Amino acid sequence: MLKTDTTKKIRLNTDRLRWSAEGKKSGPVVILFVGIHGNEPAGLAAVDLIAENLNRSPRELSGSVYAITGNLGAIKQGVRYIDADLNRIWEMYNTRKDFSRINGITQPAEYSESLGIKQTIEQILAKHKNDTSEFIFADLHTTSSQSCAFILLNDTLANRSLARKFSVPQILGIEENIHGTLLSYVNNLGYKALGFEAGAHHDRESVKRSEAFLWLLMHNAGVLELNAEEFSKFKKRIRAHAGVPDTYYEILYHKLVEDPEKFEMMSGFENFDRIEKDTPLAYEEGRLIKAPKSGRIFMPLYQKKGHDGFLIVNEVSEFWLELSAYFRNSFVHALLKYLPGVSVGSKQSFEVDLRIARFLVKDIFHLLGYRVTEKDEYTLICYKR
Ligand SMILES: [Zn+2]
């Protein structure tokens, strides 16, 4: 494994471990993923700029930084993925399902990519388990639509406290709608993890914003210290435009697409654009798709790979969030089983019968920090995060 400190040059390479930098003092370990989608080069460029900068002007690091390259095969071809989306298959490590066969393909390319990434994570965790108290993960992406920068996070209090340090829009609870992400896998290991989306795939600003996010992340984590001028420069660089408040957003709706070849998003939607209910949004197999709810359009699909057509998000009030933080560690959990339609699933989960339980049930479980998924038409499963 490459090893370096602030006086040694960081060596870039095109293997799984792109580079690492180790400070003389111990401290947090920051682990960065770039190129999990092969058609998103901004993150790769940004981590390389950081390495070059650290080589040119060495800084004192407390702790370590690792940059891990994602889908090596897809990056070479400049495509999102080859056989399966590398950011949707991580659930296989938590279930007994055989994922060596995905989408009818035996041993898909992304299966071995995921094994390579998993192994690298495990090596880093093993190496530092005795010299750090904190591992922080971040996964860098870009979108097919035009967008300002934003952060995606699984809704845990630890993630929230880290994410709050960045003044960009923050999307909570992505794990309820998009399954099998690398972030969820890392969260399940018990570590903080943020997704940073920098903007459109080939917008030059996306590289600049990714780089700014990385400096701020290292600063906020305590691995290095930016001076006041640098800090405000980077903060300004990732800031969203005035129409998109840098608050929390929740996901109201998720349009899944069976066959992206047959899905055509109407042109002109930018991420976070406000939409009213019934706004025409897309065509699927010639059929017009209208917005089922009012809110803001989120991650409209303008490429022919991927199954998330679009989502609709909305701002969440600060009050609701503070209330939920307060309740998460409270005694109220013990009372949940007395709600109508609620039964105890396992030690960590409840089942909700929607034929009996009425409005607000999902909200109550969210408030208390549960992850809510649909088992079938009539049943929700609520897992304690
Ligand atoms: Zn991506």
Identify the CATH number of the domain in which residue 257 sits.
2.40.50
C-alpha 16 – ligand 1 centre gap (Å): 17
- Higher-scoring residue by pLDDT: 216, 328: 216
The answer to whether position 245 is within a domain reads no
C-alpha 37 – ligand 1 centre gap (Å): 5
Which of 263, 295, 315 finishes a domain? Answer: 315
What tens digit of pLDDT does each residue of 68-123 get?
A: 999 999 999 999 999 999 999 998 887 766 666 776 777 889 999 999 999 999 99
What tens digit of pLDDT does each residue of 234-292 get?
A: 999 999 888 898 889 999 999 999 899 999 999 999 999 999 999 999 999 989 999 99
175-204: string of b/e by CB count within 10 Å (b at 16+)?
A: bbebebbbbbbbbbeebbbbbbbbbbbebe
Q: What is the pLDDT of residue 358?
A: 66
Q: What is the pLDDT of residue 96?
A: 64
Contact between residue 48 and residue 31 where contact means Cβ atoms under 8 Å apart: no
CATH of the domain at 197: 3.40.630.10
Nearest to 161 by CA among 124, 199, 134, 197: 134
Q: Do 285 and 322 share a domain, yes or no? A: no
Residue span of the structural domain in which 85 resides: 17-238
C-alpha 170 – ligand 1 centre gap (Å): 16
Query: Residue 329 pLDDT > 80, yes or no?
Result: no
Q: Residues lining ligand 1 (ion), CB within 5 A? A: 37, 40, 141
The answer to whether position 368 is within a domain reads yes
C-alpha 18 – ligand 1 centre gap (Å): 18
C-alpha 38 – ligand 1 centre gap (Å): 8
The answer to whether position 3 is within a domain reads no
Contact between residue 61 and residue 50 where contact means Cβ atoms under 8 Å apart: no
Q: Do 149 and 35 share a domain, yes or no? A: yes
Q: Do 82 and 174 share a domain, yes or no? A: yes
The answer to whether position 59 is within a domain reads yes
The answer to whether position 356 is within a domain reads yes
The answer to whether position 243 is within a domain reads no
Q: Do 307 and 327 share a domain, yes or no? A: no
Q: Do 266 and 358 share a domain, yes or no? A: no
User: For residues 175 and 55, what is the distance between their CA atoms, to the nearest angstrom?
Assistant: 37
Q: What is the pLDDT of residue 87?
A: 95
Q: 232 is written with which tokens?
A: 């405000």
Q: What is the pLDDT of residue 317?
A: 75
Q: Do 233 and 140 share a domain, yes or no? A: yes
Q: Do 290 and 326 share a domain, yes or no? A: no
| Mean predicted confidence (pLDDT) in 198-202 | 95
* CA distances (Å), origin 361, targets 165, 173, 327, 329, 342: 31, 16, 15, 19, 9
The answer to whether position 10 is within a domain reads no
C-alpha 34 – ligand 1 centre gap (Å): 9
Which of 269, 296, 315 finishes a domain? Answer: 315
Which of 283, 315, 347 finishes a domain? Answer: 315
Q: Do 214 and 305 share a domain, yes or no? A: no
The answer to whether position 282 is within a domain reads yes
Q: Do 331 and 301 share a domain, yes or no? A: no
Q: How many domains does the chain have?
A: 3
Q: Do 117 and 88 share a domain, yes or no? A: yes
| Mean predicted confidence (pLDDT) in 5-34 | 87
> What is the pTM (predicted TM-score) of this model?
0.84
Q: What is the pLDDT of residue 210?
A: 98
Q: Do 189 and 330 share a domain, yes or no? A: no
Look-up: residue for tokens 């370096």? 4
Look-up: residue for tokens 């994570």? 121
User: For residues 142 and 269, what is the distance between their CA atoms, to the nearest angstrom?
Assistant: 16
Q: Do 78 and 196 share a domain, yes or no? A: yes
Contact between residue 135 and residue 128 where contact means Cβ atoms under 8 Å apart: yes
